[in-house]
């Protein structure tokens, strides 16, 4: 009976091997060729051969919001005479006024008092102490006491601290005065290096070529 058992065991092993062989699937072949939809164009273009934007394009775009001007003149008449000279040199332009803030200083002061009598009383106290000061007579700061104007912020702050230590509520404020200047707005958007502009500026050393916001 033992040989029958071994025979059945061997038959089962052979049957199992046949079934496993039938169930083994073939591995798909992987193609290294790109599909037609992804095929590359045979014609290659070098970077140096491809269309390039003009080199001055970025600079021109940055200047697009600014206008070239020549100036400043202190009067309209002088500016118009300059515009005539520029036109004769082949550079056309239009005279326009421009208000700028000049003489920026740090002002040390005591705030306005309720009436002039009180301001005069404090002024006399300061002058007795040897403090150079005066009363503001008109405007929004009428009856304020001015203690001085300084181009140095450090000097102004030093006086403010000194006055506060002496019992006076001093403050510092930046001030300036508006000044009207006259400039010739050039019609040429890129006048730099133009012969007419160069010759004109050489003959008028007090003037300059600049760019400002277009009006």
Could you state, in order of their start, the residue ranges of all structural domains in the chain? Answer: 63-101+179-213, 103-176
Q: Are strands 171-186 and 93-110 parallel, antiparallel or unpaired?
A: antiparallel
- Asked whether the whole model's pTM tops 0.75, one would answer no
Class (C level, CATH) for 63-101+179-213 = alpha beta
Class (C level, CATH) for 103-176 = alpha beta
pLDDT digits (tens, 9 = 90+) for 121-136: 999 999 999 999 999 9
Q: What is the pLDDT of residue 102?
A: 82
pLDDT digits (tens, 9 = 90+) for 161-182: 999 999 999 999 999 878 899 9
Measured between alpha carbons, how far is 185 from 79 in angstroms, rounded to an integer? Answer: 11
Cα–Cα distances (Å) from 195 to 189, 198, 200, in that order, read: 15, 5, 8
- Region for 115 from its dihedrals, namely left if φ exceeds 0, alpha if ψ lies in -120 to 50, beta otherwise: beta
Same fold, 63-101+179-213 and 103-176: yes
Q: What is the pLDDT of residue 38?
A: 38
pLDDT digits (tens, 9 = 90+) for 62-118: 455 889 999 999 999 999 999 999 999 889 999 999 888 888 899 999 999 999 999
**Beta partners for residue 69, in sequence order:** 185, 210
């Amino acid at each position: 009976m033992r040989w029958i058992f071994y025979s059945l065991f061997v038959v089962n092993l052979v049957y199992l091997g046949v079934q496993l062989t039938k169930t083994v699937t073939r591995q798909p072949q992987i193609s290294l060729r790109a599909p037609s939809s992804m095929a590359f164009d045979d014609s290659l273009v070098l970077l140096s051969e491809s269309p390039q934007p003009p080199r001055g394009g970025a600079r021109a775009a940055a200047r697009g919001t600014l206008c070239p001007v020549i100036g400043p003149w202190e009067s309209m008449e002088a500016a118009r005479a300059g515009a005539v000279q520029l036109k004769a040199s082949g550079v056309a332009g239009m005279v326009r006024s421009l208000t700028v803030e000049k003489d920026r200083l740090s002002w040390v002061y005591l705030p306005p008092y309720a009436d002039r009598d009180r301001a005069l009383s404090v002024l006399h106290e300061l002058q007795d102490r040897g403090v150079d000061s005066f009363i503001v007579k008109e405007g929004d700061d009428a009856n304020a006491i001015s203690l001085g104007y300084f181009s140095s912020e450090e000097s102004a702050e030093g006086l403010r601290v000194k006055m506060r230590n002496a019992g006076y509520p001093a403050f510092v404020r930046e001030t300036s005065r508006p000044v009207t200047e006259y400039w010739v707005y050039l019609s040429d958007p890129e006048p730099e290096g133009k012969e007419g502009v160069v010759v004109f500026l050489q003959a008028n050393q007090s003037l300059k070529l600049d760019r400002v916001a277009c009006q």
